[in-house]
Amino acid sequence: MRTADAIFSDALAHAGPAVPWLEPRRAEAVKLFRAKGVPHRRVEDWKYSDLKTALEAANDLGGDTIALTLAPLPAGVEHFDLADLANAPDWVRAHLGKAARGGAMPAAALALAHTGFAIRVPKNTHLSAPLQFEVSGAGHTRALIVMEEGASLTLVEARKPGTGFANVAIEVVVGANAQLTHVRTSPAARDTIQVEDIAVRVARDASYRAHLFNGGASLSRLNLRLTLKEPGANAFLSGVSVLGGLHADVTTEVYHAAGRTHSEQLFKKIVGGRGRAVYQGKITVAQGADKSDSRQIAKALLMGERAEADLKPELEIFADDVKCAHGAAVGDLDADSLFYLRARGIPEAEARNMLVRAFLEEVVAEIADETIRAAVWQAVEDALPGAMAP
């Protein structure tokens, strides 16, 4: 059996150099990857998601079939195919690969991917219709989303269940006063090992909102790394994981680099069977980032004896006059609530259903677009029967 590191080493040896403009970033990524290796459970923030073991245990990693499929673009959005790196425009050259140094997996994606897309929403362009794309297949890929000053967009990312190992790195740049809403749905994918790194930089008075639905995979790891780099930048990160026996790890890192920045996080999990839900949320408030505030809530309901949830909020504050609050709770459905509903004639199964939906509803209700909210809720409904089995 080959080790995971050997698999990547071979791939790196065959990947060849990138185009000259990208080569310094790519070389740095290769160096970083070689130094860190494939993450495993003895790497602190991969403790609950042993990627190395999962890759080595998989029979077939699925080769190189990965595709990011964009729906037809609304007028006003620029698109560039990352397969054609030699001809990349300046806005791609300015940003692509900058976030690869954030970890071994985005570094691997930069070094190994030869597909992907970049899109740019020009200054003060408001797109009312959502822009959709699908992620399918196995392999490494990346995407770049650039929101120019004052632009706004709703991006809907749909992960297709499949087989094999997929490693996706998405870089997002939100310019001053711009707004990006990022919805991501990832239905249950039993035979997939999914890693995705979303690195977001948010400028002055700009906002980034993420709404995630996760049905889990054989191993699923989503890294959401966010820098609020100028005053007035704000972020709302939310998600529900509904797991009927699979694994879903959502790890967020929020860095308040400047003063008057705001972040809020709300994550809820329903875990049944032998499912395992992970939330790790690290918030750092940098020195001088005064008058920043952050809130962070993560809750999980376990539907059976074998289900597991690991919730780990973390806070590091180097500034003064900041407001930070966090809470995490793992439990079973509230016995008092269940009795109250049953005492009113509502049968136990129906009462449990009501309470579970009410628990998740608060998160999904944060999606402003009615059609998207209904679609995400449908994904929740599809996943619930599996997750509610003990």
Mutual orientation of helices 348-364 and 370-388 as an angle, nearest 10°? 140
What are the CA-CA distances from residue 252 to residues 21, 279, 281, 361 (Å)? 30, 8, 5, 21
229 secondary structure, DSSP code? -
Residues near other proteins (CB under 8 A), total? 23
Span of 2-10, 122-130, 251-259, 328-336 interacting with other proteins by CB under 8 A = 328-336
The rounded distance, in Å, linking the Cα atoms of 240 and 360 is 7
146 Cα distance to chain centroid:
17
Cβ atoms of 286 and 256 closer than 8 Å: yes
Give the shortest CB-360-to-other proteins separation in angstroms. Answer: 8
In the complex, what is the shortest distance from the CB of residue 326 to other proteins, in angstroms, rounded to a whole number? 19
Residue 307 to residue 203: CA distance in whole angstroms:
40
Least distance in Å: CB of 156 to other proteins?
25
Question: Is residue 358 within the footprint of other proteins (CB under 8 A)?
Answer: yes
368 binds other proteins (CB under 8 A): no
377 binds other proteins (CB under 8 A): no
What is the closest distance, in whole angstroms, from the C-beta atom of residue 340 to other proteins in the complex?
4
CB of 334 to other proteins, least distance (A): 8
198, 227 Cβ separation under 8 angstroms: no
Question: 13, 20, 335, 370: which one contacts other proteins (CB under 8 A)?
Answer: 335
Is residue 354 part of the contact set for other proteins (CB under 8 A)? yes
Residue 339 touching other proteins (CB under 8 A): yes
CA dist 121 → 7, 173, 234, 277 (Å): 37, 11, 19, 35
Instruction: Find the shortest distance in angstroms from Cβ 335 to other proteins.
Output: 7
Q: Does 11 bind other proteins (CB under 8 A)?
A: no
Report helix, strand or coil for 48.
coil
Nearer of residues 7 and 328 to other proteins, judged by Cβ: 328
Strand 262-272, strand 293-302: pairing = parallel
- Which one among 28, 78, 308, 362 touches other proteins, defined by CB under 8 A? 362
Binding site for other proteins (CB under 8 A): 334-337, 339-348, 350-351, 354-355, 357-359, 361-362
